[in-house]
């Protein structure tokens, strides 16, 4: 395999790993929030808390309605 293909595959794999890590961090942060206030994993209260925290965090990281990302100036 030549170096250009290898470099492309390495970059693609790195981007995929970062994207998957980002997805897991919202759920793990929500789990930490709910367990830190005393909910036991698997209880109804924990499940409700977890769903609410994931929803809140997704809202925090989403763009406002009608807003489009703009190119970076850098």
Tell me how crowded residue 10 is: count the other CB atoms within 10 A of its CB: 10
CA distances (Å), origin 44, targets 17, 54, 58:
32, 16, 21
Can you give the pTM of this predicted structure? Answer: 0.54
The kind and range of the H/E element at 31 are helix 3-36
pLDDT digits (tens, 9 = 90+) for 22-67: 556 889 999 999 999 999 999 999 999 999 999 998 888 777 777 7
| First vs last C-alpha separation in the chain | 33
* Other CB atoms within 10 A of residue 49 CB: 19
pLDDT of residue 5: 72
Per the CB < 8 A criterion, the answer to whether 33 and 53 are in contact is yes
């Amino acid at each position: 395999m030549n170096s250009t293909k290898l470099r492309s595959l390495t970059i693609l794999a790195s981007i995929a790993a970062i994207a998957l890590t980002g997805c897991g961090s919202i759920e793990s942060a929500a789990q930490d929030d709910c367990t830190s206030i005393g909910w036991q994993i698997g209880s109804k209260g924990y499940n409700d808390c977890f769903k609410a925290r994931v929803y809140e965090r997704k809202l925090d990281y989403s763009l406002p309605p009608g807003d489009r990302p703009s190119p970076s100036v850098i």
